[in-house]
């Protein structure tokens, strides 16, 4: 019998984590033994939160589940997934608009390595219009983002935008 844990890497920018991401992770952990939430460290992409802040918010949101771990990576995702002994890359798919980009990434990753499969879960209907960017935009102008992000993220968003307002 193969006793090896079935690990999936769930990569993303997570700037910040949303309830849509959580939905994918909670469903993913029913398929895989372990999920590594991997925050991309990409200095060329402007982000609201630092990688450390993003990792910290994810930690706080998943406190207690030892099979869900958080990490950050840079470079090629497929290399990272192999290094971590993952058998799959987990991605959520929202509307058709996600498809082309996801398809391209999955095919490129497959070209780079056949050892790791990309697995897609369709986003739950209630999260179909949720994205980190739209939530940041709403929060920035004082919009109600209750129920769209976990509490540690909501608190941090409020803090961040209050601090930014103070600087103006």
Binding to ligand PNS (CB under 6 A) within 40-69 occurs at: 40
CA distance 71 to 40: 9
**Residue 112: CB minimum distance to ligand PNS, A:** 7
Give least dist CB 91 to ligand PNS, A.
Answer: 7
Q: Tokens 């030892």 belong to which residue?
A: 66
CA atoms of 5 and 69, how far apart (whole Å): 14
Show which residues are catalytic.
21, 45, 94, 132
Distance CA 122, CA 9 (A): 17
Hey, which bits of the chain come out as E strands? 7-12, 34-40, 68-73, 88-93, 117-122
Three-class secondary structure of residue 21 per DSSP: helix
Site for ligand PNS in 78-137 (CB under 6 A): 78, 105, 108-109
Using the minimum distance from each CB to ligand PNS, give the nearer residue, 90 or 145.
Answer: 90
Among residues 17, 25, 77, 86, which is the contact residue for ligand PNS, using CB under 6 A? 77
Size of the site for ligand PNS (CB under 6 A): 10
Site residues for ligand PNS per CB under 6 A:
11-13, 40, 76-78, 105, 108-109
């Amino acid at each position: 019998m193969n006793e090896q844990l079935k690990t999936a890497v769930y990569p993303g920018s997570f700037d910040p984590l949303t309830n849509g991401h959580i939905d994918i992770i909670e469903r993913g952990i029913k398929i895989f033994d372990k999920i590594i939430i991997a925050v991309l460290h990409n200095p060329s992409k402007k982000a609201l939160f630092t990688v450390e802040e993003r990792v910290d918010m994810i930690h706080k949101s998943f406190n207690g589940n030892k099979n869900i771990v958080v990490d950050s990576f840079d470079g090629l995702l497929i290399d990272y997934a192999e290094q971590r002994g993952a058998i799959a890359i987990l991605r959520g798919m929202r509307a058709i608009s996600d498809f082309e980009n996801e398809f391209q990434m999955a095919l490129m990753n497959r070209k780079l390595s056949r050892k790791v499969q990309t697995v897609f879960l369709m986003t739950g209907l209630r999260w179909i219009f949720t994205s980190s960017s739209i939530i940041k935009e709403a929060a920035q102008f004082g919009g109600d983002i209750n129920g769209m992000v976990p509490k540690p993220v909501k608190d941090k968003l409020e803090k961040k935008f209050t601090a930014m307002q103070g600087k103006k």
